[in-house]
């Protein structure tokens, strides 16, 4: 499998994994005390993808893109929500 190692593709993959997992988690009913839970749990696939891209698949630039989306997204959740 030949995948082009690009930072921009990593950004798109990170954002897509976050969005899809957030949509899946938003189907469940969360209590008022856990209003941040779907937002924070939606970052788990990005962390897993980051590790797999850097260690297993040797896609350094894509891993950095996924990491950038994950870190910026977590900071936004903590400061805005």
How far apart CA 4 and CA 13 sit, in angstroms, is 13
pLDDT of 28 reads 85
Number of domain units in the chain: 1
Residue 11 lies in a domain: yes
By CB atoms closer than 10 A (0-12, 13-18, 19+), residue 4 is exposed
User: pLDDT for 62-81, tens place per residue?
Assistant: 999 999 999 999 999 889 87
pLDDT of 39 reads 87
How confident is the prediction for the chain on average, in pLDDT?
A: 90
Q: Distance between terminal CA atoms of the chain? A: 40
Q: Which residues in the chain come in under a pLDDT of 70?
A: 1
How far apart CA 71 and CA 73 sit, in angstroms, is 5
Residue 34 lies in a domain: yes
Residue 2 lies in a domain: no
Residue 73 lies in a domain: yes
**Residue 40: how many CA atoms within 13 Å on its side-chain side?**
10
Structure tokens at 22: 């957030």
Residue 42 lies in a domain: yes
What domain range is 12 assigned to?
7-80
pLDDT of 81 reads 76
Residue 14 lies in a domain: yes
How far apart CA 5 and CA 2 sit, in angstroms, is 9
Residue % of the chain over a pLDDT of 90? 64
Residue 1 lies in a domain: no
pLDDT of 1 reads 59
């Amino acid at each position: 499998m030949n995948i082009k190692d690009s930072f921009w593709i990593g950004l798109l993959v990170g954002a897509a994994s976050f969005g899809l997992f957030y949509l899946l988690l938003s189907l469940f009913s969360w209590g008022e005390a856990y209003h941040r839970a779907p937002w924070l749990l939606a970052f788990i696939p990005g962390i897993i993808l980051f590790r797999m891209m850097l260690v297993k698949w040797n896609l350094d630039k894509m891993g950095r893109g996924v990491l950038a989306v994950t870190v910026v997204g977590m900071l936004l959740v903590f400061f805005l929500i």
